[in-house]
A and B are shown apart, each in its own frame.
Chain A
Amino acid sequence: GNSVTQMEGPVTLSEEAFLTINCTYTATGYPSLFWYVQYPGEGLQLLLKATKADDKGSNKGFEATYRKETTSFHLEKGSVQVSDSAVYFCALSRYSGGGADGLTFGKGTHLIIQP
């Protein structure tokens, strides 16, 4: 079956540091890949996605590239801010929207940015 593995953290960084959160997946076919973010007390928000190999998703300074050869979708940001503190989830789905037959999520990575 499908699965997603990501570092769980917590990951603690200083403001303006470089961020990488690793994500690898196991899936049949060619899934779409997602990064979701969950701020305290809120629901999940789609951060970015990529729907085919070598696609790069980007949003709010975050980027992730769909690497089929290494089955990875690592999240990166060049300079993090305190406001980026949240839990980040890597996920995959058969469809590019993620609905219909559901998303398969990783366990989530708690990111803490210190001023």
Chain B
Amino acid sequence: KAGVTQTPRYLIKTRGQQVTLSCSPISGHRSVSWYQQTPGQGLQFLFEYFSETQRNKGNFPGRFSGRHFSNSRSEMNVSTLELGDSALYLCASSSGTVNEKLFFGSGTQLSVL
């Protein structure tokens, strides 16, 4: 069974641009969560989607948004990039029930210059 797949693995952008990251969950999983990992702030929850609907959202500005498709694939978009958005972005999937464990992807390393 394939794991959580995130693409691309590395990305370089400049300030002011926008970026879209992609996540393919484990087959059959209906929930996708996104996290931001930085050396200063650590791991922070961005948002969680279940069956194409955002169920929960962390404390991030509106520049951070997501989408969840009927095939359970998810995208995360960051608009008007800032230097501080440089981070490892991790995607995690689960079956969707609140007591099921999360499976994390290897992440997309975003560098903003």
A residues with CB within 8 A of B? 41-46, 49, 89, 91, 95-108
Contact = CB atoms under 8 A, between A and B. Distances in A.
B98 A100 contact: yes
B107 interface: yes
Contacts, number: 70
Interface residues of B, number: 27
B48 interface: yes
B45 A43 contact: no
B101 A102 contact: no
Contacts of B96: 99
Given A43-B106, A44-B104, A102-B58, A97 B42 contact: no
Nearest to A91: B43
A53 to B, nearest CB: 18
Given A99-B92, A108-B42, 13 more contacts: A41-B106, A43-B92, A43-B106, A46-B101, A89-B43, A97-B101, A99-B31, A99-B48, A100-B50, A100-B55, A100-B56, A103-B45, A104-B45
